[in-house]
Amino acid sequence: MIGNTMSQTVVLGVIGSDAHVVGITILEQAFSAAGFDVVNLGVQTSQEQFAEAAADHDAGAVLVSSLYGHAEQDCQGFHQVLEEAGVDAVTYIGGNLAVGQDDFEQTRRTFRELGFDRVFDSETDPEEAIAALRQDLEITPTESERVSVSS
């Protein structure tokens, strides 16, 4: 797809039993400031709630956050739930995804195998995720965005 043809709506939340709210609050503010429409589902969000919100809002992306280290368990079957709900969106996951996470590249491979398009560690700057999402959704900056960046 070319230009701004895909939805700029992102659904964001913390999956499973995780109750860490700071990360998604920062992401909500950063993605909103970057021009995305953000639907923040909050914490302790089920896979089904992500799928329902993504379908209801025709989201271009679903962003999953987890900090308590049990994301692999929480994300088993997630992409099947999205598919069954008719969701065709880019999927990202980020945070402290595994307890005792010594080798993030192994963690990244695990979540890519679960179907996530991109996997970020807890040290990722929101700007990096925003740039990746613009690339993945093929969103070109508007003239005003290009001017404000160069100012």
- Residue 41 marked ligand-binding: no
- Residue 20 marked ligand-binding: yes
128: which 2 tokens?
Answer: 């990096």
- Residue 59 marked ligand-binding: no
- Residue 19 marked ligand-binding: yes
- Residue 12 marked ligand-binding: no
Query: Rounded to whole angstroms, what are the CA distances from 61 to 11, 68, 96, 133, 144?
Result: 6, 23, 20, 8, 23
- Residue 70 marked ligand-binding: no
Rounded to an integer, what distance in angstroms lies between the CA atom of residue 43 and that of residue 21?
6
Length of the chain as a residue count: 151
- Residue 18 marked ligand-binding: yes
Give the active site residue among 20, 57, 70, 79: 20
- Residue 55 marked ligand-binding: no
Collapse the DSSP code of 16 into the 3-class scheme (helix H, G, I; strand E, B; otherwise coil) and give the result.
Answer: coil
20 catalytic? Reply is yes
SS3 percent helix, strand, coil of the chain, rounded to 5, is 40, 20, 40
Residues annotated as part of the active site? 18, 20
Which residues sit in the known binding site for adenosylcob(III)alamin? 17-21, 65-67, 96-100
Which residues sit in the known binding site? 17-21, 65-67, 96-100
